[in-house]
Structure 1
């Protein structure tokens, strides 16, 4: 086991000699800095486990040195014992407020000095143990995430085979009941394919490897086509889907494939969570401010999103109001948030009186 490293900061070399003699039996590795500036320069080279810091030094005093060390995340965990000849409670309080973990008065006995250092070393050891556990957990989580991404990627081929076989079966002369069952298999296959694609895109986003394929499109035409594709689904559920898109042309630069999946997710949710004989509204605005090209409102008359959930609903695997009979995984909105923010926009949710929720996108 390596010896503990003690950095002694004192403008008087004789004091270092005294401390060195007091700690001789402890077999510590000692290093000396004659000023606060030299102590700060010594940190990355020596990497101490404990710092014995004289308070009364010319130029940069010990309290200022302590504040600089504790304000640096790289060194803030190192315990500091302030060594001072000051006896007033105000001076001792000043040392502790500056970030010192303990203090000792001059002249210090060897018994007290060794006890203080041992106490600080226990604190440092606890920190090191926790840090090691945290690093190990981070490695495990990273490995699990990488394995999940590999599995999701490998799922694409069997899903494609299922869809291909399902489409071929639809062309056979099957009974009406069998045709319905095959169609259900195909629908579930496309749903599974969409989920795996979303997971892969999210993985690329989180790793910083996703590259947007942006194009300049007519956003009005883009929006109308999106709503049109959902009209049949809305009609089947007896939901009135209203589109309010300005007739004026608006050229917007975005990744049409990814942004279409965002709108598909939000419209699908709005229809899925709305009751029969209700209204889902899709509205587009072109604000005058330069920072926002397009603002989109998607409103439903479903159970809504509580104030508490509005702050967390866009996190991965978070779900809103649990509705019986409706599948809720908690990936769709997280995917939407990532894509919108990658486009430099934002997404949030508000209440839609008297009932329901409105999801708002700005890009």
Structure 2
């Protein structure tokens, strides 16, 4: 490979970064010098390759902004080099101009099929060469601008996605905190009972006659500690590589959280857990977030239902899949509501009770794991949320 040649002169592309790099690949030394001389009036950094193999190696070492490629070269001809460059540069646009003494229409078609952007015939006219190189470099600059804007947009979307997940987690924490305040009120009743052993609170908390102050304080301390751990457990963000979680354990943890905070005190909740391990590649916090939303929604749905029942379960499915579900015997949903339940900020709950983000977040998380969410519901017949999830291979 010949050394780089620098051209000097006023830039012809004022809006483009300078200098732009042009790779000239030609086995004829005179042709290389002529092409470099014709481009000398522009502020380009010129590199040379004397064969198709050298051209491929040069592109691998340092990405050029444009390739000026001779067709008739020994070994790999220009058509084959063009095809290979297009394969290597997939996802990035680098203009390729084929230069040849061939003048048949079939050769032009072959060059365009190989991925060339333009075709010049020898002897090359200087003004034409400079114009075509300048125009294609502008096209490359536009491609780079679009790629930069695309990356920026994707970064913004990811940031907004994380903000939505965080907002839903905060809303879940707020709901649990309200339930915790009720439980703390119960704890205060227990403390009062230590002063008056015959007292009991409205939820039936009472101390046995032989309970000592130490026993009461130990019970209170353990309960308050467990409440704080519950909130910290759901609030803790995930970090590092995506771990694997055992869904049966996650479901039991979520049930414990909701029972401890009193969120499901008005419903009979049953768990259907498999004997085998059901492992999913996901963040434990996000898996908890999904089940907290689903069971919490079910609890809200059956709050006024006589004999309220909620069932949550997990089972293995053929083909390396898992199925999880949360079923309630609440009032169910109409077709109009079903059509909108995954819309962000859509909610049927009273103002101040829900954010409308819960099911949208559930759908987003489940799909990010490679799963799907199905809803089975009819007015007066309850609701069943079904998750189809990929099992992590053993």
TM-score by length of 1: 0.63
Q: Which has the higher helix share?
A: 1
1:101 aligns with 2:128: no
CA contact (8 A) 2:53 2:76 kept: yes
Q: 1:302 aligns with which of 328, 333, 341?
A: 333
Q: Report what 2:374 is aligned to.
A: 349
Contact 2:334 2:378 in 1 (8 A): no
Offset of 1:20 from its aligned partner?
A: 1.8
Three-state SS of the structure 2 residue aligned to 1:11 is coil
- Select 2:240's aligned residue among 191, 203, 208: 208
1:273-327 CA distance string (max 9 Å, x none): 67965987636464474734x53233462246999879xx5xxxx5386536362
| TM-score normalised by the chain length of structure 2 | 0.59
Match 1:263 to one of 280, 291, 311: 291
3-state SS of paired residue (1:71): helix
Partner of 1:11: 27
Matching residue of 1:334: 361
Other-structure match for 2:320: 291
Change (3 A) 1:225 1:307: closer
Q: Please tell me whether residue 30 in structure 1 is matched to residue 46 in structure 2.
A: yes
Change beyond 3 A, Cα 1:338–1:95: same
Q: Deviations over 1:94-130 (max 9, x none)?
A: 2223222222222221111111111112112223344
8 Å CA contact 1:273–1:303 kept in 2: the answer is no
Aligned to 1:176: none
Q: 1:185 matched to which residue of 2?
A: none
Whether 1:48 aligns to 2:75 is: no
SS of 1:127's equivalent?
Answer: helix
Contact 1:6 1:52 in 2 (8 A): yes
Are 1:85 and 2:101 counterparts? yes
Consecutive unaligned residues of structure 2, counting only runs of 5 or more, are: 1-16, 193-201, 203-226
Shift of 1:7: 0.3
> What's the counterpart of residue 358 of structure 1?
385
Find the aligned partners of 1:146 and 1:287 in 2 and give their Cα distance. Answer: 30
How do 1:148-297 residues align onto structure 2 when only pairs under 5 Å count? 171=188, 201=237, 204=238, 208-209=240-241, 211=243, 222=252, 229=259, 245=272, 250-252=275-277, 259=287, 261-272=289-300, 282=311, 284=313, 286-287=315-316, 289=318, 291-292=320-321, 295-297=323-325
What residue is the counterpart of 2:82 in the other structure?
66
* Cα drift, residue 263 of structure 1: 2.6
SS in 2 for 1:67: helix
Aligned to 2:41, the other structure's residue is in SS state: helix
Q: 1:252 to 1:218 in 2, by over 3 A?
A: farther
3-state secondary structure, aligned to 2:64:
coil
- The 1:75–1:262 alpha-carbon spacing in structure 2 relative to 1, beyond 3 Å, is closer
Structure 1: 5+ residue runs without aligned partners? 174-178, 180-189
Q: Is the 8 A contact 2:26 2:70 kept in 1?
A: yes
Task: Tell me the SS of whatever aligns to 1:26.
Answer: coil
Output the aligned Cα RMSD. Answer: 5.5
Using the TM superposition, give the Cα deviation of residue 43 of structure 1 relative to its aligned residue in structure 2, in angstroms. 1.5
Q: Distance in 1 between matches of 2:180 and 2:302?
A: 32
Larger Rg: 2
SS in 2 for 1:32: strand
Q: Deviations over 1:209-264 (max 9, x none)?
A: 56557698698xx499679949x86795xxx8785848xx6142659887555333
Residue 119 of structure 1, aligned match among 135, 139, 143 = 135
Deviations 1:164-196 (A, max 9, x none): 9887677499xxxxx9xxxxxxxxxx9xx96x9
Q: Is the 8 A contact 2:26 2:73 kept in 1?
A: yes
Alignment of 1:39 onto 2:80: no
Tell me: CA distance 1:262–1:159, structure 2 relative to 1, closer, same or farther (3 Å). closer
Equivalents in 2 of 1:269, 1:56: separation in Å? 71
Q: Which residue of 1 aligns with 2:13?
A: none
